[in-house]
Amino acid sequence: MGEKGVKSSNSMGLGCGGWRWACSSGSFSASSNSVVLLGFLLVLTTFGSLFAWLTISPFGRPDTGLVGGCREDGEGSWSIGVFYGKSPFSLRPIEMENLETNMSSARPVANPVFTCASVADYRYPSNFVADPFLFIEIYLMPEGNKKGDLRLYRALEFPLRWTLEKVLIKKPLIDATMIQYEGYYWIFGSDFTRYGTEKNAELEIWYSRSPLGPWKQHKQNPVHSRDKSLGARNAGRPFIYEGSLYRSGQDCGETYGRRVRVYKVEILSTEKYGEVEVPLGIEESKKGRNAWNGIRYHHLDAQQLPSGGWIALMDGDRVPSGDSSRRLFIAFTGLTFVVLLITAVGFSVGCVMCMLPTSWCLGSNRRNDTICVWVQPQFSLKLRKCLIVFNRTSSSLQGKLRLNTCMGKSILCILSTIGVVAVCVVVSFLFGGNGAEEAYPFKGEYSQFTMLTMTYEARLWNLKLYVKHYSRCASVREIVVVWNKGNPPDVREFDSAVPVRIRVEKLNSLNNRFKVDPLIKTRAVLELDDDIMMTCDDLERGFKVWREHPERLVGFYPRLVNGKPLQYRNERYARKMNGYNMILTGAAFMDGEFAFKRYWSEMAKEGRAMVDKFFNCEDVLMNFIYANLSTARTVEYVHPAWAIDTSKFSSSAISRDTGAHYRKRTSCLVKFTDLYGPLPAKEWEFGMRLDGKMGEKGMKSLNSMGLGCCGWRWPCSSGSLFSSSNSVILLGFLLVLTTFGSLFAWLTISPFARPGTGLVGCREDSEGSWSIGVFHGKTPFSLRPIEMENLENSLSSAWPVANPVFTCASVADSRYPSNFVADPFLFIEIYLMPEGNKKGDLRLYRALEFPLRWTLEKVLIKKPLIDATMIQYEGYYWIFGSDFTRYGTEKNAELEIWYSRSPLGPWKQHKQNPVHSRDKSLGARNAGRPFIYEGSLYRSGQDCGETYGRRVRMYKVEILSTENYREVEVPLGVEESKKGRNAWNGIRYHHLDAQQLPSGDWIALMDGDRVPSGDSSRRLLIAFTGLTFLVLLITAVGFLVGCVMCMLPTSWGLGSNRRNDTICVWVQPQFSLKLRKCFILFNRTSSSLQGQLRLNTCLGKSILCVLSAIGVVAVCVVVSFLFGGNGAEEAYPFKGEYSQFTMLTMTYEARLWNLKLYVKHYSRCASVREIVVVWNKGNPPDEREFDSAVPVRIRVERLNSLNNRFKVDPLIKTRAVLELDDDIMMTCDDLERGFKVWREHPERLVGFYPRLVNGKPLQYRNERYARKMNGYNMILTGAAFMDGEIAFKRYWSEMAKEGRAMVDKFFNCEDVLMNFIYANLSTSRTVEYVHPAWAIDTSKFSSAAISRDTGAHYRRRTSCLVKFTDLYGPLPAKEWEFGMRLDGWDA
- Please determine, for residue 913, whether its predicted confidence score (pLDDT) is greater than 70: yes
Q: SS3 of 664, please? A: helix
Q: SS3 of 1034, please? A: helix
Dump pLDDT digits (tens) for 1231-1262.
Answer: 999 999 999 999 999 999 999 998 888 888 88
Dump pLDDT digits (tens) for 674-728.
Answer: 888 888 777 888 888 777 544 443 333 333 333 333 334 344 343 443 445 667 7
* CA trace torsion 63, 67, 68, 69 (10° rounding): -60
Q: SS3 of 1258, please? A: coil
- Please determine, for residue 1124, whether its predicted confidence score (pLDDT) is greater than 80: no
In angstroms, how far is CA 1018 from the centroid of its own chain? 42
Pairing of strands 92-93, 79-85: antiparallel
Range among 917-926, 1039-1048, 1157-1166 rated most confident: 1157-1166
* Burial class for 148, CB neighbours closer than 10 Å (0-12, 13-18, 19+): exposed
SS (H, E, C) 262-330: EEEEEEECCCCEEEEEECCCCCCCCCHHHCCCCCECCCEEEEECCCCCEEEEEEEECCCCCHHHHHHHH
Closest CA to 1169 of 1211, 1221, 1225, 1202: 1211
What per-residue confidence (pLDDT) applies to 1046?
47
Could you give phi then psi for residue 332, rounded to 5 degrees?
A: -75, -30
Question: Model confidence at 1158, in pLDDT bands (50, 70, 90)?
Answer: very high
Helix axes 460-470, 536-548, angle to 10 degrees: 70
Gap between the Cα atoms of 190 and 232, Å rounded: 8
Q: Between residues 1032 and 850, which one has the greater pLDDT?
A: 1032
Question: Model confidence at 1054, in pLDDT bands (50, 70, 90)?
Answer: very low
Closest CA to 70 of 32, 30, 120: 120
What per-residue confidence (pLDDT) applies to 357?
42
The mean pLDDT of 1097-1117, rounded to a whole number, is: 84
Gap between the Cα atoms of 141 and 175, Å rounded: 10
The mean pLDDT of 447-467, rounded to a whole number, is: 88
Gap between the Cα atoms of 1147 and 1165, Å rounded: 21
Residue type, 1367: L
What per-residue confidence (pLDDT) applies to 652?
56
What per-residue confidence (pLDDT) applies to 1062?
42
- Please determine, for residue 1022, whether its predicted confidence score (pLDDT) is greater than 80: yes
The mean pLDDT of 1295-1305, rounded to a whole number, is: 91
Q: Between residues 1050 and 506, which one has the greater pLDDT?
A: 506
Q: Between residues 645 and 482, which one has the greater pLDDT?
A: 482
What per-residue confidence (pLDDT) applies to 895?
92
Q: Between residues 368 and 510, which one has the greater pLDDT?
A: 510
Q: SS3 of 239, please? A: strand
Q: SS3 of 955, please? A: strand
Q: SS3 of 1108, please? A: helix
Could you give phi then psi for residue 219, rounded to 5 degrees?
A: -65, -25
Give the bridge partners for 942, in sequence order: 952
Range among 423-432, 1057-1066, 1294-1303 rated most confident: 1294-1303
What per-residue confidence (pLDDT) applies to 9?
35
Span between the terminal Cα atoms of the chain, in Å: 6
498-533 burial: b if 16+ Cβ within 10 Å, else e: bebebbebeeebbbbbbeebeebbbbbbbbbbbbbb
The mean pLDDT of 351-372, rounded to a whole number, is: 46
Gap between the Cα atoms of 1111 and 689, Å rounded: 99
What per-residue confidence (pLDDT) applies to 74?
53
Dump pLDDT digits (tens) for 1266-1275.
Answer: 999 999 999 9
* Burial class for 928, CB neighbours closer than 10 Å (0-12, 13-18, 19+): buried
What per-residue confidence (pLDDT) applies to 1044?
58
- Please determine, for residue 899, whether its predicted confidence score (pLDDT) is greater than 90: yes
What per-residue confidence (pLDDT) applies to 715?
41
- Please determine, for residue 814, whether its predicted confidence score (pLDDT) is greater than 80: no
Dump pLDDT digits (tens) for 326-340.
Answer: 778 888 888 888 888
Distances (CA, A) of 144 to 171, 172, 514: 7, 4, 58
Q: Quote the Cα angle for 604-606-608, to 5°.
A: 70
Closest CA to 1213 of 107, 7, 234, 343: 107
Q: Cis bond leading into 306, ω under 30°? A: no
List the single range of 591-605, 876-890, 988-1002, 1255-1269 with lowest mean pLDDT: 988-1002
What per-residue confidence (pLDDT) applies to 1050?
42
Q: Find the helix or strand (DSSP H, E) in which 583 lies.
A: strand 582-583
Q: Cis bond leading into 804, ω under 30°? A: yes
Contacting residues for 399 by C-beta, under 8 A, at least 6 apart: none
Catalytic machinery residues: 1311
Range among 336-350, 755-769, 971-985 rated most confident: 971-985
- Please determine, for residue 803, whether its predicted confidence score (pLDDT) is greater than 90: no
Q: What percentage of the chain reaches a pLDDT higher than 70? A: 72
Dump pLDDT digits (tens) for 220-278.
Answer: 888 887 788 888 888 888 888 888 899 989 888 888 888 888 999 999 998 999 999 99
Alpha helices, DSSP H only, in 1241-1342? 1263-1269, 1284-1291, 1297-1306, 1310-1319
Dump pLDDT digits (tens) for 1279-1291.
Answer: 999 999 899 999 9
User: How many Cα atoms occupy the beta-carbon half-sphere of 588 within 13 Å?
Assistant: 31
Closest CA to 1226 of 1305, 1280, 1296: 1280
Gap between the Cα atoms of 1191 and 120, Å rounded: 35
Q: SS3 of 649, please? A: helix
Contacting residues for 1110 by C-beta, under 8 A, at least 6 apart: 1033
* Burial class for 64, CB neighbours closer than 10 Å (0-12, 13-18, 19+): exposed
Asked if 302 and 783 count as a contact pair (C-beta separation under 8 A), the reply is: yes
Q: Quote the Cα angle for 375-378-380, to 5°.
A: 80
What per-residue confidence (pLDDT) applies to 757?
41
Helix axes 1073-1092, 1015-1040, angle to 10 degrees: 70
Gap between the Cα atoms of 1189 and 982, Å rounded: 11
What per-residue confidence (pLDDT) applies to 1329?
95
Q: SS3 of 460, please? A: helix
Q: Between residues 785 and 370, which one has the greater pLDDT?
A: 785
The mean pLDDT of 909-929, rounded to a whole number, is: 88
Gap between the Cα atoms of 453 and 829, Å rounded: 44
Question: Model confidence at 193, in pLDDT bands (50, 70, 90)?
Answer: confident
What per-residue confidence (pLDDT) applies to 1282?
94
Residue type, 749: I
What per-residue confidence (pLDDT) applies to 195?
72
- Arithmetic mean of pLDDT over the chain: 77
Q: Between residues 121 and 999, which one has the greater pLDDT?
A: 999
Residue type, 481: V
Closest CA to 1022 of 1109, 950, 1106, 1116: 1116
- Please determine, for residue 1180, whether its predicted confidence score (pLDDT) is greater than 50: yes
Dump pLDDT digits (tens) for 1313-1357.
Answer: 999 999 887 778 899 999 998 888 876 666 555 566 788 888 888
Gap between the Cα atoms of 1222 and 1309, Å rounded: 17
> Within 10 Å of residue 141's Cβ, how many Cβ atoms?
18
The mean pLDDT of 375-397, rounded to a whole number, is: 62
Asked if 314 and 775 count as a contact pair (C-beta separation under 8 A), the reply is: yes
Pairing of strands 449-455, 524-528: parallel
Asked if 947 and 1013 count as a contact pair (C-beta separation under 8 A), the reply is: yes
Q: SS3 of 189, please? A: strand
Mark residue 714 as left, alpha or beta (left: phi above 0; alpha: psi -120 to 50; beta: remaining).
beta
- Please determine, for residue 862, whether its predicted confidence score (pLDDT) is greater than 80: yes
List the single range of 164-168, 317-321, 646-650 with lowest mean pLDDT: 646-650
Contacting residues for 658 by C-beta, under 8 A, at least 6 apart: none
332-339: list long-range contacts, CB under 8 Å, 24+ apart: 332/430, 334/422, 334/423, 334/425, 334/426, 334/429, 335/426, 335/430, 335/707, 337/422, 338/419, 338/422, 338/423, 338/426, 338/707, 338/737, 339/707, 339/708, 339/709
Gap between the Cα atoms of 686 and 574, Å rounded: 9
Contacting residues for 1145 by C-beta, under 8 A, at least 6 apart: 1155, 1158, 1171, 1172, 1173, 1174, 1219, 1220, 1221, 1222
Question: Model confidence at 470, in pLDDT bands (50, 70, 90)?
Answer: very high
- Please determine, for residue 64, whether its predicted confidence score (pLDDT) is greater than 50: no
> Within 10 Å of residue 266's Cβ, how many Cβ atoms?
12
Distances (CA, A) of 625 to 579, 582, 603, 629, 1128: 20, 12, 9, 6, 79
What per-residue confidence (pLDDT) applies to 1058?
46
Give the bridge partners for 1005, in sequence order: 82, 993
* Beta strands across the sheet bearing 161-169: 139-140, 150-157, 161-169
The mean pLDDT of 1011-1037, rounded to a whole number, is: 84
Gap between the Cα atoms of 656 and 661, Å rounded: 8
